[in-house]
Amino acid sequence: MKKFYLLVLFCFILLKSYSQNGYGFINFDDTVGLFRISIDTTISNNIWQIGSPHKSFFTSSYSVPNAIVTDTLHPYPINNNSVFYYRTSGDYNTDSHDAVLDFWYKMDCDTLIDFGKVEVSLDTGITWQNLITGNSWWTVYDSLNNVIQTSNGNDTMVFTGHTNGWYEFSCDLSLDQGILDSIIYRFTFRSSNLSVSRDGWMIDDIHFNTWWESIPKMRMSYHVYPNPVRDQIIINSEKLIVEYEILSSMGCPVTNSENYKLPLNINVSGLPSGLYFYRIKFEDGQEGSGKFVKIF
């Protein structure tokens, strides 16, 4: 897992020629990136802890030894409200901007009565929006990469109940034009007044990535469809396309080719579901880019 993220970081460096992005990864096993995590000490009895879990269901972290857990030793108490923040930083002056948040988690709590929530703030914590119901596309996968829930299927999503092992939550947040100096995520766990003696919520391997275009806007028309796509994405334009590239949500190339036919038909049926970016180059040297969602 750690080697994979080093490879992702290397891919980001290579992509600087036509895009910009910010990157963060926390596995709680070393001090790298921990400055981004803040447990809210103003809340009495805040039970979020960083450490090695020793509980009935939470027996180990996703990447050993540490994770962030609603108490590493004891069941969560009644009437609890615990919060931690994950802060990003940068100077986002954007025409097109996406913020991708990804993490692994386990849940063990009373369904719907006790639950977790992830919110995002784009104004340094003044206002908050639920990441699930906001301007975002999200998917929950199990450890075998099977889709559990997705916003593409109009699923509702609450971090609650009992997961069947580790689940991965991945979310792409589409942002409007403007200037941002930070994006803050707030993780909240709440329990009712019923005692259930359960483990709560455990989170590990938080990955954050931003992607924003730095290519001059095209003074021509091109169309990319369908979006979302299952099997084949089509790109049509006024000018000849001489090269294209498809990239994963974390910025690494997954396919590329030279092509001189219009419309350009790209087979994406073999790609896993998720968010992807495309880059196209025209015969006059101009470039265009954008994103699409691959679904089953």
Q: What is the mean pLDDT of residues 69-81?
A: 98
Catalogue all structural domains in the chain, each as residue range(s) with its CATH number.
2-213 (2.60.120.200), 222-294 (2.60.40.1220)
pLDDT at 238 exceeding the cut of 50: yes
Residues 6+ apart with CB under 8 A from 222: 235, 236, 237, 238, 239, 280, 288
Lowest mean pLDDT among 87-91, 98-102, 103-107, 250-254: 87-91
- Over 57-83, what HEC string results? CCCCCCCCCCEEEECCCCCCCCCCEEE
d(Cα 153, Cα 249) in Å, to the nearest integer? 20
Residues 6+ apart with CB under 8 A from 214: 18, 19, 20
d(Cα 13, Cα 172) in Å, to the nearest integer? 21
Residues 6+ apart with CB under 8 A from 208: 22, 23, 24, 25, 86, 88, 99, 100, 101, 102
pLDDT at 116 exceeding the cut of 70: yes
Pairing of strands 97-108, 19-26: unpaired
Residue % of the chain over a pLDDT of 70: 81
Q: How confident is the model at residue 5 (pLDDT cuts 50, 70, 90)?
A: very low
Of 47 and 222, more confident = 47
d(Cα 183, Cα 266) in Å, to the nearest integer? 34
Which pLDDT score is estimated for 39?
97
Q: Quick one: which of 45, 191, 164 has its CA closest to 110?
A: 191
Which pLDDT score is estimated for 185?
96
Instruction: State the sign of the Cα–Cα–Cα–Cα dihedral 131, 132, 138, 140.
Output: positive
Which pLDDT score is estimated for 27?
92
DSSP string, 81-115: EEEEEEE----EEESSEEEEEEEEEEEES-TTTSE
3-state secondary structure at position 7: helix
pLDDT in tens, 218-229: 444 677 878 778
Cα-atom radius of gyration of the chain, to the nearest Å?
21
Run of H or E including 6: helix 2-14
Residue with tokens 């990239």: 247
pLDDT at 77 exceeding the cut of 80: yes
Which pLDDT score is estimated for 167?
96
Q: What is the mean pLDDT of residues 141-163?
A: 85
| pTM for the predicted model, two decimal places | 0.71
Of 163 and 224, more confident = 163
pLDDT at 158 exceeding the cut of 70: yes
pLDDT in tens, 240-294: 888 889 988 767 788 888 766 778 888 998 888 878 888 888 888 888 877 788 8
